[in-house]
Amino acid sequence: MKLYNTLKGLRLMLVSTKIFHPEDVFKGKRVAVIGAADSAFEKENGAYIDSFDFIVRVNKAPHSWRPEKSKFIGSRTDVLFHSFYENSDSGGGPIDFELYKEQCIRFIVNPNYNFKGIWTHLNYYKRNLNENVTYILARSFSQHINEKFGKWIPTVGFSALHTVLNSNCKEVYITGFTFFKTPYAVDYRNQLINMEANQKHIKTQGLHNPDLELVQFIKQVEKLKNSDPIIILDSALTDIVKSFKEID
Rounded percentage of the chain residues whose pLDDT exceeds 90: 80
Indicate if the pLDDT at residue 1 is higher than 80: no
- Helix or strand holding residue 208 (H, E): none
pLDDT tens-digit map of 102-157? 999 999 999 999 999 999 999 999 999 999 999 999 999 999 999 989 999 999 99
What is the structure's pLDDT at 158? 98
Question: Which stretches of the chain are assigned E, i.e. beta strand?
Answer: 17-20, 30-34, 54-58, 79-81, 107-110, 134-137, 171-175, 230-233
Backbone dihedral angles phi then psi of residue 137, each to the nearest 5 degrees: -60, 140
* Rounded Cα distance, 59 and 184, in Å: 13
Instruction: Categorize the per-residue pLDDT at 202 as very low, low, confident or very high, splitting at 50, 70 and 90.
Output: confident
> Going from the N-terminus, what domains does the chain have, and what CATH number goes with each?
2-247 (3.90.1480)
What is the structure's pLDDT at 92? 87
* Rounded Cα distance, 94 and 98, in Å: 11
Average pLDDT on 87-97 reads 82
Higher pLDDT, 101 or 92: 101
Cis-peptide, bond into residue 229, ω within 30° of zero: yes
Q: Break the chain down into helix, strand, coil percent, rounded to 5.
A: 50, 15, 40
Instruction: Categorize the per-residue pLDDT at 212 as very low, low, confident or very high, splitting at 50, 70 and 90.
Output: very high
Give me the chain's average pLDDT, please.
Answer: 92
pTM of the predicted model, to two decimals? 0.94
